[in-house]
A and B are shown apart, each in its own frame.
Chain A
């Protein structure tokens, strides 16, 4: 661990999960749309 580097990895993980959820969610919604 580098001394002095802020410990804020949780925010990075949250942002990556949120972005993936939005993009995968939209892809799934497009996949399901023709079946309605």
Chain B
């Protein structure tokens, strides 16, 4: 089985399990008393956000190692991770406003967390557009690595923005020094969803990486 076929299988498993998470979130997880059903958006919004940020962390680390080692596999992985990270960031930036409207009374506000997440999405887009625009392979990899490191530096500001600034966005209730302030059954649904998004990330990156490899082989031939 080739890498792209393995990636397809992993992605398919991830999508099927996403359906199972939907069923668990809708039918087997209690409705939060103050926010109502809209709170269940949490189970897709948060895992997508965690992976949108983790994806950029991995790009940044791969970029740092690429600048030292010059291994093209690191550059290829960073490109694959950027595509998938952009997709997850798109999930965050669409589900967030849909959640915000009934709870905050507005689709969007220019507070620190939302604005920095939008900036993360633009960095992803800029990264991908730049890769498409630069034809020289060596230059493209070096420019991409620099942009990837800039993206990595942004991630801590996104995560801690709710603590550093006065924002409408709630503070972390799971990824914080103290124990998660979430009932056990809700936490299990969240963790299952996080696992599914992890599977999707791996499956998508495997496919994108294999496609980049095939494209390079085609270009060389």
Contact = CB atoms under 8 A, between A and B. Distances in A.
A4 B33 contact: yes
Most chain A beta carbons < 10 A, residue from B26, B38, B94: B38
B204 A27 contact: yes
B40 A12 contact: yes
B214 A34 contact: yes
Interface residues of B, number: 36
B87 A11 contact: no
A30 B91 contact: no
State the main secondary structure of chain B at its contact with A.
helix
B189 interface: no
Nearest to B95: A15
B37 A16 contact: no
A8 B11 CA distance: 31
Interface string A2-36: 10111111011011101110111011001101100
Interface in B152-210: 200, 204, 207-208
A2 B31 contact: yes
B87 A23 contact: yes
Interface stretch (B65-73, B97-105, B117-125, B128-136): B97-105
B62 interface: no
Contacts of A7: 36-37
Contact of B44 (A9, A16, A24): A16
Given A11-B102, A22-B87, A30 B36 contact: no
Given A9-B37, A18-B98, 19 more contacts: A8-B35, A8-B102, A9-B38, A11-B37, A11-B41, A11-B98, A12-B40, A14-B98, A15-B95, A16-B22, A16-B44, A18-B91, A18-B95, A19-B44, A20-B22, A23-B15, A23-B200, A26-B87, A34-B211
Closest 8 CB pairs of A and B: A6-B36, A9-B37, A8-B102, A15-B98, A8-B38, A15-B95, A15-B41, A12-B37
Interface of B: 4, 7-8, 11-12, 15, 18, 22, 26, 31, 33-38, 40-41, 44-45, 48, 87, 90-91, 94-95, 98-99, 101-102, 200, 204, 207-208, 211, 214
Interface of A: 2, 4-9, 11-12, 14-16, 18-20, 22-24, 26-27, 30-31, 33-34
